Amino acid sequence: MLNISDNKVIIEESDYEAFEVVTNPYKIRAFAMWLLALIGILILVLFLPWTQNIQIEGKVTSLRPQERPQTIHAIIPGSIQEWYVEEGDTVKQGDTLVRLAEVKGPYFDDNYQARLNEQLYNKKEAALAYREKIRALLAQKQALERGRELKLSQAQNKIRQKGFKVVSDSGKLVAAEKNLEIAQNLYDNTKTLYDQQLKSLAQLQEKQQKLQEKEAKLIALENQYEITQNELVNARIKLSSIKVEYIDKISKVQTYIFSSKSDLNKIEAEVSKLSSKLNATKIRQGYLYVTASQDGYITKALKMGIGETVKSGTPIVSIMPQNHQLAAELYVDPVDLPLISKDHQVRLIFDGWPTFVLSGWPDVSYGTFAGEIVAVDNMISSNGKYRILVSPLIDVNEKNLRGLVKTEKSENNKDDKAWPIQLRIGSGCKGMALLNDVPVWQEIWRQLNGFPQDFYDRYKPHPYEHHKRQKQKKKAK
């Protein structure tokens, strides 16, 4: 090749077919036509519709929380004494799974409930005695109150009587003073006439005697008036003493009533505690038998052996509910979460079922199943993604669409199949959330520029929302 050798290499073009192809003008023209046709096909492909989608992964679960796998716990601490089931057994709600034995001291006594009943009976009798005592004290209080009213009435009547007597004695005293004054005047007049020798000594002595009688009577009436006043004061003092006496007696009875009520409340509190303790003991006896919470089958025994001690709340067995409605639990990246919403359609791929998928052309995909989003979590999960729940779009029993929104895409799903009945909770699955339809070239350009999937149509309403708005407008018309 560098012409440094004297040996010459002679190549005969006729010996090689490639030279003939290159130098033949007809074959060159045919190659150019094929190349142009291929380029034309590629250009046409660029204008084909492409369905944007979000690729998400997850697992199969149950739609309702009560239908998901669960563990059955020991309500009370105890020691395992007997197993009634094996792993894989089918059980009904209320079937006994495990029998426990007590491990706390007070419950070792076989007559524990009988002793509690006896204590409760005694406390109830004591409470009854206190009630009778309170009833008797209340009756005594009422009797004292009636007696007080009677005594006060008598004392008040006596005060009125003494008051009347004081008024009467006061009138008598005033009359006696007037009589004394008259007698004094008569005596003075008679003495004057006697001095003038117009009256006799006998007449003067008679007037003097009457004057002395009037003075004696006045003194007696003054003494009687003071005695009556003192009796009135004593009657009033007696009234006050009666009030004080009965206040003291009624207060003592009231104190006994309060004390008895306090004791009764303590007894009733003890009765309530004993009743609660007795009921708790009866309920506790039932918790010694761990039962199935619902129909299902035993998947795994979490505690093994006989005599093993378990604490309160310790999981003993796990159970899988027999009747459950399947759903897909998928996890979406935070960047894709705003693009999906409730009632959004999803295409699902389950592990173990053959699938041929073209993500941009879901209509030509094979082996995918239809679903709709029924719940979207607002809290991020521990794996850094948002959890969504997808239920079957096709009812397994009725074989029809159960979606409420009828769009062009959902109408195409009428030919889809229901989810396989062989699916088990926990198996893996993948999902594709279908978004807007765009040309292939636009999708390629978006991928090259790193634009989000909904960038071009972010100002347009969601297909489902657009359909809802149209439906509302029709109803309004």
Residue pair 440/48 in contact by the 8 Å Cβ criterion? yes
Distance CA 260, CA 253 (A): 10
Residue pair 375/341 in contact by the 8 Å Cβ criterion? no
Q: Regarding predicted confidence, which is higher, 21 or 351?
A: 351
355-387 burial string, b = 16+ CB within 10 Å, else e?
A: bebeebebeebeebbbbbbeeeeeeeeeeebbb
How large a percentage of the chain has pLDDT more than 70?
A: 79
What are the chain's domains? Answer: 50-67+324-476 (2.40.30.170), 70-102+288-320 (2.40.50.100), 112-286 (1.10.287.620)
Q: In this predicted model, what pLDDT tens digit does every residue of 59-80 receive, in sequence order?
A: 888 888 887 888 888 888 888 8
Residue pair 71/317 in contact by the 8 Å Cβ criterion? yes
pTM greater than 0.75 (yes/no): no
- What is the pLDDT at residue 132? 92
Examine the pLDDT at 2 and tell me if it is beyond 70: no
Cβ neighbours of residue 348 under 8 Å, at least 6 residues apart? Answer: 328, 368, 369, 370, 371, 390, 419, 429, 430, 431, 432
Handedness of CA 19, 23, 25, 31 (dihedral sign): positive
Q: In this predicted model, what pLDDT tens digit does every residue of 78-129 receive, in sequence order?
A: 888 888 888 888 889 888 899 998 888 777 777 888 888 888 889 899 999 9
Residue pair 392/324 in contact by the 8 Å Cβ criterion? no
Mean pLDDT of the chain: 78
| Residue type for position 132 | E
Structure token digits, residue 338: 């705003």
